[in-house]
Amino acid sequence: MTFFTAEIGLPQPRRDQHGGVRIFTSLLAIALGGLAALFLALIVYRALGETGGTNSYAQLAEAFLNGRFTTPDACFDGDCATYRGETYVIFPPVPALLAMPFVALFGVNFSGFLFLGLALFVASAFLWWQIFERHLEDRLTVFILTVAIMCATPVFYVTMRSDQVWFFAQTVGFFLVTGAIHAIVVQARPWLAGAFIGLAFLTRQMSVFYAPFLLVLAFQDERPLWHITWERLKIAIQIAIPIGIAILAYFAYNYARFGSPLDTGYGYIFSSLDTSIEPEAGDYIAYRLRELGLFNREYLLFNAFYLFFQGLHVEFGGRYLTEITGIDINGTSLLAASPFLFVLFLTPLRRHVVVGLGVIAIVAGITLFYHSNGFSQHHVQRYTLDWLPIAFTFLPLVVLGPRIRALFAVMTLYAMGTLALALAIAQMTAA
């Protein structure tokens, strides 16, 4: 495949002209590697202290082991639904299936979700290394790109908090969509890509929109997309069949739980709220669910501002307004938290890029009307992980020249530094 190869069309300078830039970039890479090691150590530290009883997927796994869909106890995270007097963990089932062997061994209070998240994190990093290495000869560039997407985006944050149900689902989902991209780019196995997306759909539903992007990635020839050949039909069928099976499985799962293939159960979170009790002051999520619902256009301005414009927001208090008292739990905008992604504006418009941008617009557009922008989160917008892997595939098209690579490394180091600062402030000001 040649779709990652970029021709800039400018005279290329001799290698020795950039010797100093490469040394500088190498030093930056060493700093990035050291900071990445500290980040991994932080996950291990948190994993060693995990207590269990915080991730509702353990309850769903226990329900599956006992041949039922309901849990007899209140949910660990409180984000469950009540239907006909029964309590349901309504999130899609694959993360629970992943946890089942461990819950079978250690019980519903299994306390190893952070280690599971770390294993998925390492596996995802390995796959992205191979994806980038497939199209870039320079190992230094591959290293910098891999560290950037794993440690300077929401990927690290959701992994670090994968002891809770929402973050664990995103850690699993990121690994699965990464596996799908790897299956196309590195292995050229459309059926495997379809299987990964099918499983990803049963983890994070909007992963199903990856299908057309993967299809275009799989087309190695340069003929128009509407040019139908038997080879292209075979690729499309191989991708579509596993995804179709996953969709039918989800319909059956919904029917078995709620009597309708299209009833996911999310609506019962809203109906389970006790509307006779006034929410606590500042609990805007409860007010939104009570009065506006899961999706509403009223959320657009808030979500768009936090996605595109909000900077790192540290809260100050005290008599002289000089004491740090907290940090915005709604996060920081994507480009403020991960400024190296600005290089994506230089991406040449190849056909897989155009299709990818279309998928990104659909997924991001839907989440802009959702009642939550990823709450709670510090210095990230975690819902962007539903489409960021597509954008990551564009990076080899633009991070090629020595100077761009050096600038990319500088911005990555800045992003990791500010993330570390945000996490430190969140820890210091936690009640």
* β-strand partners of 314: 327
**Read out DSSP for 63-112?**
HHHTT-SEESS--SSS--EEETTEEE--S-SHHHHHHHHHHHHH-TT---
State the residue range of the domain holding 63. Answer: 56-105
pLDDT in the model for residue 272 = 55
Query: Residue 273: inside a domain, yes or no?
Result: no
Q: How many CB atoms lie within 10 A of CB 274?
A: 9
**394 backbone dihedrals φ, ψ, rounded to 5°:** -80, -20
pLDDT in the model for residue 313 = 92
Same domain, 78 and 173: no
Same domain, 152 and 85: no
Q: What is the pLDDT along the chain (431 residues), one digit of tens a residue?
A: 444 444 334 344 444 456 788 899 999 999 999 999 999 999 999 999 999 999 999 999 999 999 999 998 888 887 788 888 899 999 999 999 999 999 999 999 999 999 999 999 999 999 999 999 998 989 999 999 999 999 999 999 999 999 999 999 999 999 999 999 999 999 999 999 999 999 999 999 999 999 999 999 998 767 777 777 888 899 999 999 999 999 999 999 999 999 999 999 888 876 655 555 555 545 788 888 888 888 999 999 999 999 999 999 999 999 999 999 999 999 999 999 999 999 999 999 999 999 999 999 999 999 999 999 988 898 999 999 999 999 999 999 998 788 999 999 999 999 999 999 999 999 998 84
**Cis? peptide before 207, omega within 30° of 0:** no
What is the DSSP secondary structure assignment for residue 279, as one 8-state letter? P
Same domain, 39 and 123: yes
Same domain, 161 and 35: yes
Query: Residue 160: inside a domain, yes or no?
Result: yes
Query: Residue 12: inside a domain, yes or no?
Result: no
- How far does CA 340 lie from the centroid of its chain? 17
pLDDT in the model for residue 398 = 93
Same domain, 383 and 324: yes
Query: Residue 67: inside a domain, yes or no?
Result: yes
Same domain, 195 and 332: yes
Output the six-digit token pair for 221: 């020839």
Same domain, 42 and 72: no
First-last CA distance in the chain: 52
Same domain, 33 and 60: no
Indicate the angle between helix axes 210-218 and 190-201, nearest 10 degrees: 170
Structural domain total, the chain:
2
Q: Measure Cα distances from 352 to 4, 176, 287, 358, 385 in Å.
A: 10, 20, 41, 10, 19
pLDDT in the model for residue 9 = 42
Q: Measure Cα distances from 328 to 186, 307, 332, 393, 430 in Å.
A: 40, 14, 8, 30, 12
